[in-house]
């Protein structure tokens, strides 16, 4: 199908974000992408990203900077955003399939 012509690129990008060496463990990044199984202090941030990313505030990040580095937070945020975007993409593709 034409909507899957970029699937290989999407899958490679997802793999790089979630599995490549980084400042955080791949398991933590995968949990952020799924939006579950996170340490409690990161759970609130990741839930916000998955549900209403525009509601993330500087205060949310400042609270976490006492425990996580900027690089670690960046990786968690990107992973959560990647997971949220994939959820929306696949929901949209399912909706298209149902209408055809």
Give the residue, 91 or 77, on which the prediction is more confident: 77
Kindly report the pTM of this predicted structure.
0.89
Total number of domains in the chain: 1
Range of the domain at 8: 2-99
Per residue in 43-63, pLDDT tens? Answer: 999 999 999 999 999 999 999
Dihedral sign, CA of 20, 23, 27, 32?
A: negative
In the 8-state DSSP scheme, what is residue 68?
Answer: S
In this structure, the number of other CB atoms found within 10 A of the CB of residue 97 comes to 10
32 contacts 83 by C-beta, under 8 angstroms: yes
> In terms of C-beta density within 10 A (0-12 exposed, 13-18 middle, 19 or more buried), how is residue 48 classed?
middle
């Amino acid at each position: 199908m034409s909507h899957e012509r970029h699937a290989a690129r999407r899958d490679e990008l997802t793999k790089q974000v979630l599995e490549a060496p980084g400042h955080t463990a791949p398991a933590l990044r995968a949990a952020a992408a799924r939006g579950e199984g996170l340490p409690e202090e990161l759970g609130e941030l990741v839930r916000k990203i998955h549900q209403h990313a525009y509601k993330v505030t500087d205060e949310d990040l400042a609270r976490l900077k006492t425990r996580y580095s900027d690089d670690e937070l960046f990786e968690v945020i990107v992973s959560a955003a990647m997971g949220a975007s994939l959820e929306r993409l696949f929901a949209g593709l399912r909706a298209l399939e149902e209408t055809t």
